[in-house]
Structure formats: structure tokens, C-alpha cells
Amino acid sequence: MLPPIQLTQKRSGIRLFIMTVFGRAYPRVIGMQREKSWLFFDIFVPLLSVSAYVFVYRAIGAPEDYVGFVVVGGAMTAFWMNILWSMSSQLYWEKEQGNLALYIISPASMMAILLGMALGGLFATLLRAITIMVFGSLIFNVSYHLVSFWQLIAIFSLSMIALYGMGMMSASIFLLLSREAWHISNLATEPVYLISGMYFPVKNLGFWGSAFGSIIPLTLGLDAIRQLIFESGPSLGFLSVNIEIFILILLSVFYVSAAKFLLAYIEKLAVREGRLTENRR
């Protein structure tokens, strides 16, 4: 006698959301272990850029804390590159591979799918950033002066929420722009290094230059982190840490809300037209 057929339980609501997040995060966490050479290049290549700036600062006799600024900035570049290539361009790549239609017709929300990708990418990128920090600090003998551990945790957490919210929002925009997304990704790489103060205090850009760069959450997050872990950080900071925390909260709310709105718009566009159009409408 054949055993009775057991029907798979249908998931919905918050349980479906959590399972979708886990399902999309899992491949990224596991995938980073399958190609060991990628880990080497993801760590070694950023260290070359960090080394170049360190040697320049030491050649011109800059304060030693500037070396630490460069090491921290080099570690944070990993998060920006992850946002730019693994988040913002993700939906466009999924469309090119034929997977986007499956995401649209699935009962899972697009927000959960991108959130899972974000968490998986954040875990992998965090390991690389920590490795860069450790190796850079040991090689260049960087000393730290921690002011507040809890403020540091708050700043980093808010920066990541706002930054990945920005990544989810731009993923929708890049999809609507179609092939122009590739050019925008290439264009945005180096200018962001400048306006966010990756390798120098963003305060040197002046008030309006720093304010413009603050549109990118990484700018304020990096500035606040430097103020909290270096002795000369507060004197070289753009704004006080408390003000930057408040602005990062606003940016987090704005980018996550904008991401939710744009993803819902994309789903409606796909349902109404039966396809995702090449041109923005």
C-alpha cells in the first residue's frame, strides 16, 4: 500500500518573507567559499590602493592618523563595491539571465528577495572588510583610540541599513534604465571615492561639497567612524557624531521607503504590461 501523499504546507505572510530572505542570502554566503581565488583578489587588490595612499601621506609628512583614515576607507570600499555591483545592478542582471520573471510571478515580495541578497552580500563583504582592516593595521602599524563602542555599533548599523536601502532603491532605477545601468555603475565607481572621502577627511571638500557627498550614507558613516576611533578624528570631522547619527536615521527611512515604493512600482509595471519594458515610462 502506497503511503499517503503529503502536501507541502503553503507559506505566507511574515514566514514567507523570512524564508525568502534566508533563501536568497544562503547562496551568497556559501558561494563565496567555492571560488577561493576571489577572496584573495578581493582582499589583495584593495590593499594595493590603500598602500599607495599610505606611501603618499608618509612621503609628504601627513599626520599618522591619516594612515588609519586610509585603512578604514579602504575597508569600507568593499561595501560600496558590493552595493554598486551586487545590489544596484542585480535586477538588471537577473533580467538578462531570465530569472527576473520568476521573481515577479513568485508569491514572495521583491523586497524580501533583495533583502536576502543584501544580507548575504553584507556577510561576505564584512569578512573581507575586517580582513583588510586587520592586515592594513598590522602592516602599517595603525593605532586606534576608541571613544564609544555603542556609538560605533550604531553608526555602522545605520550606515549599512541606509546604504543597502539605497542599493535596493537603485536596483529598481537601474532596471528601468536597462542597459544604461552598466554605464552608470562604471561611472559611479571613482567619483564616489572622492565625494565620500574614502581616503581623506571629507571635511576638506568644504561644507557644500561634504553636504552633497552626504547623500551617500557611506560619507557620514565613514566620517563618524573616524571620529570615534582616532584621536584626531573629532577635529577633522564634518559634523558631530550625534548629528550624523540623526541624519543616518533619516537616510535609512528615506532609502528603505523609496526602495519599497519603486519595487512595488516595478511589480505593477510587470503585471500591467506582461513584461518589463526597455524604456522608462
pLDDT of residue 252: 92
Helix H segments across the chain? 13-31, 36-59, 65-83, 90-97, 100-105, 110-140, 149-177, 180-195, 206-213, 217-229, 233-236, 241-273
Burial status of residue 108 (CB atoms within 10 A of its CB: 0-12, 13-18, 19 or more)? middle
Residue 278 · residue 175 · CB < 8 Å: no
The structure's pTM equals 0.82
| 85 secondary structure, DSSP code | I
Whether 213 shows a pLDDT value over 90: the answer reads: no
Each residue's pLDDT tens digit, 21-65:
888 888 777 766 666 666 676 677 778 888 888 898 888 888 888
Mean pLDDT calculated for residue range 80-97: 74
In whole angstroms, what is the distance from residue 23 CA to residue 16 CA? 10
d(CA 59, CA 182): 37
pLDDT tens-digit profile of 122-154?
777 887 888 888 888 888 888 888 888 899 999
Q: What is the percent of the chain with per-residue pLDDT over 70, rounded to a whole number?
A: 85
Please check whether residue 244 is in contact with residue 162, taking contact to mean a CB–CB distance below 8 angstroms.
Answer: no
Calpha distance 280→267 (Å, rounded): 14
Q: Would you kindly state where each structural domain of the chain is located, as residue ranges?
A: 37-273
